[in-house]
Amino acid sequence: MNKTLKIINDWDPMRFLARDAPDDEYEEEARLIDIILSQTSSVKELAIGIQNNICNKMFGEDFKSSFEECVEIAKKITEP
């Protein structure tokens, strides 16, 4: 499991894993986050991408996490 997927799984923004979803439930989202990460080193830009380009598009209205929460996840992902 790559770092991004582990962080997203730990976050479990949609609480899928808490309801016994498979460990690869967020694999596509992690892959898309890694693509954004390859294009920027900015925590803010990554957080915007996580919130707007991935989670809002993938989960729609059901995604309730705040921008600040996305920033915290982006910080974890960009940490060495």
> Is pTM, for the whole model, over 0.75?
yes
pLDDT tens for each residue of 30-80: 999 999 999 998 999 999 999 999 988 999 999 999 999 999 999 999 998
Model confidence at 1: pLDDT above 90: no
Instruction: State how far the Cα of 44 lies from the Cα of 57, in Å rounded to an integer.
Output: 18
List the domain range (segments joined by +) for residue 63.
Answer: 3-14+26-78
Decide if 30 is inside a domain.
yes
H-state helical runs in the chain: 3-11, 27-39, 43-48, 56-59, 67-78
Number of domains in the chain: 1
Q: Is residue 19 part of a domain?
A: no
Output the pLDDT for position 49: 96
* Residue 74 domain-assigned (yes or no): yes
